[in-house]
Every structure is written in C-alpha cells, then in structure tokens.
Amino acid sequence: MSLPGKFGHMSTFHFLDDIDSIDPMPILVAPHPVLKQVATNVTPDDLEAIKAALPGMFSAMYKAPGIGLAAPQVGISKRFLIMDVSEKDAPREPKILINPEIIEESKESSVHEEGCLSVPNQYAEVERPASIKLRYSDLEGKEIILEATGLLATCIQHEIDHLDGILFVDHLSTLKRNMLMRRLAKEQKRKL
C-alpha cells in the first residue's frame, strides 16, 4: 500500500543501515497474473528464501515510497508481507508478517483513500472494517496477536488482500475500477 507502527527486532533488519545501496526488487504492475493468484502458506522451509528476499523488498518499498508490500507484488506467491507505517522523518519501524490471518473484525467500518505500488498513481476511497484483530508469525516463528485500527488496520487489510489475489480496485464499482485500470494502462504504455 502506498501512504504513510511501532515494531522491532532490529537484528532481523540489520540490512536497513545500508538500504540505499541495496537494489530494489522490481514491483509487478497490474494486470500481472501473479497479482491475481492466491498465495500459499509459508512453511519453515521457506524462511531462508524469505530472509534473502527481505533486503530487496524493503528497498523497493522505501524507494517507492510505500508503507506496505506483499510478497506477490515482487512475484513471490507466499503468504507474507512487510510494512512500515512510521511517520515521515521518524525512526523506521519495519515489520514482517508471516501467514497473517484476520481473526476478528469490527462491524463498524471506515473509509480511507488507498493507493497501491502495483497500481501506481491511482487512488480511490475504500471502505473496510475500522478495526481488526490479527494473528501472524514473526521470522522466529513466534505467534503474535495484534489489534489494529486506523491507518494500520487499513494497511494490513490491503496487504492481506494481495495474498488472496485481491487488489484495492476490486473493492470498487465495476465502472470505477475500469476507469482506474484504463488510466493505469494508458500511463504504463506512455512510460514504455
């Protein structure tokens, strides 16, 4: 998700000291077929490959700039995502969520303007549950329960959608979605 947390385990993220010198992984742009796939669960066998991908993923997210990036957006159809919703100029708060699962959501909903690094330069208001409860694992395999509201809740739901092959434009009316996707296609063509 592209927009503006408090999380830790800095040892996992030692590469952030040199993030500007790390090549960003290319971000897939809709309508790429991997973005429509349902990603598979992360197993312990995947962890080494995930650790290897993290520097390039964080580099891509920070460079964009974005506040969240799901693995399918860089062509990895596995259920994990990275986030950093810290304020501009505040210390970085990198976070990785493995096999995230929403276990509760509020009846009350809220509307936020969303954008997406895979749908560049297109923005629209999306209505989602205002707060959620989430279960995920960190890189050490520890299970974590997190309650989120506001921007964090929106960002998490947007990124988990990516793991299910859903883009924020899929929450819009057909008319609105077609309009955004046509505009995106036109802009992408101009870039080539």
Rounded to the nearest angstrom, the gap between the alpha carbon of residue 80 and the centroid of all alpha carbons in its chain is 9
Secondary structure letter of residue 67 according to DSSP? S
Q: Which of 16, 22, 81, 116 binds Zn ion (CB under 5 A)?
A: 116
Q: Judged by CB under 5 A, does residue 134 bind Zn ion?
A: no
Rounded to whole angstroms, the Cα distance separating 28 from 126 reads 22
Catalytic residue among 48, 105, 147, 159: 159
Task: Assess 35 for contact with Zn ion (CB under 5 A).
Answer: no
**Binding of Zn ion by 160 (CB under 5 A):** no
Closer CB to Zn ion, residue 47 or residue 164? 164
Scanning 36-44, 92-100, 109-117, 170-178 for contacts with Zn ion by CB under 5 A, the matching segment is: 109-117
- Counting contacts by CB under 5 A, is residue 169 touching Zn ion? no
Indicate the residue whose CB is closest to Zn ion: 116
Nearer to Zn ion, 22 or 116 (CB): 116
Minimum distance from residue 26 beta carbon to Zn ion (Å): 15
- Closest approach, Cβ 14 to Zn ion, in A, equals 26
> Read out DSSP for 116-183?
ETTEEEEEEEEEEESEEEEEEE-TT--EEEEEEEHHHHHHHHHHHHHHTT--GGGGS-HHHHHHHHHH
95 contacts 83 by C-beta, under 8 angstroms: yes
- Residues numbered 36 to 95 that lie near Zn ion (CB under 5 A) are none
Q: 85 or 116: whose CB is closer to Zn ion? A: 116
Nearest 5°: phi and psi at 25? -70, 140
Q: How far apart are CA 2 and CA 16, in angstroms?
A: 19
Cα distance between residue 109 and residue 156, in whole Å: 14
Catalytic residue flag (residue 159) = yes
Chain residues binding Zn ion by CB under 5 A are 1, 116
Among all residues, which ones are annotated catalytic? 159
